[in-house]
Amino acid sequence: MSRQISEAPPPDRKPSRAGRNSCDFVDVDKVFRRMKLQPDAVFLDLGCGLGGYSFIAARQLWPQGRVLAMDKWAQGINSINNQLEQQVERNIAAFCVDIAKQIPLPNNSVDVCLMAFVAHHLVAAKTIDKVLNHLNSVLRPGAKVHFIEFKKTPPPPGPPLSIRLSASQLRQWLPEQHFTLVETTDIEPHIYMQTFTYNKESTTNDLPQMIYNK
């Protein structure tokens, strides 16, 4: 149950900082406790990398809920698909896609979106507004959007201070008419999670089942 989107770069072009799984240094129990996933949720992991959060979400949501994992790094998506073959819970669909160009899902189909250590890349690449625009279409009214980022404070670990996003900088990228800030929480002393509710009215009623050919 995977899709390869033609606009993704070939496997040998590894995007900057791809290949790391932040679940190795983040208190994921705390992250998932804060997210409070509903059992039938559709969970979108944008910039999923190796899918660490996708697999945890998939286990929590099995058998009712589903996970959609997207990254432009083909090797990360291939690795997710290889792991999927070995497990019972197959409620993940992995897509190799540049999310600045498209988020190939039906309108109003996503309940929860996670972007873990992705937003600062999108800001640096000047593509965050495009990604948020695509996200607008696929989120259900009332959906939750969670960002995890390094604080913009020394010392290391983390990316260079110049490209980190503080919680207040991140908030400024989220249009207030669509995204209401719920909370900003410390996940680690140097890492925060910021959560928004998507509050746009539903306008269309597309068919989410078209993406789930189980």
Ligand X SMILES: C[S@@+](CC[C@H](N)C(=O)[O-])C[C@H]1O[C@@H](n2cnc3c(N)ncnc32)[C@H](O)[C@@H]1O
> Which residues in this chain contact ligand X in the complex, by CB under 6 A?
15, 17-18, 20-22, 47-49, 52, 71-73, 76, 98-100, 116-118, 121-122, 127
CB of 30 to ligand X, least distance (A): 14
Start-to-end CA distance of the chain, whole Å, equals 7
Q: How far is the CB of 203 from ligand X (least distance, A)?
A: 26
Q: Would you say 13 or 63 has its CB closer to ligand X?
A: 13
Between 66 and 72, name the residue whose CB sits nearer to ligand X: 72
What single DSSP character describes residue 206?
A: -
Q: What is the DSSP letter of 22?
A: G
Phi, psi of 93, deg, nearest 5 = -115, 125
Q: Which is nearer to ligand X, 18 or 199 (CB)?
A: 18
Q: Which is nearer to ligand X, 133 or 202 (CB)?
A: 133
Pairing label, strands 42-46, 110-116: parallel
Closer CB to ligand X, residue 134 or residue 200?
134
As a whole number of angstroms, the distance between CA 137 and CA 153 comes to 34
Please state the closest distance from residue 19 (CB atom) to ligand X, in A: 7
Q: What is the dihedral of CA 44, 46, 50, 56, to 10 degrees?
A: -30
Give the 3-state secondary structure of residue 116. Answer: strand
Q: How far is the CB of 214 from ligand X (least distance, A)?
A: 24
**Least distance CB 205 / ligand X (angstroms):** 27
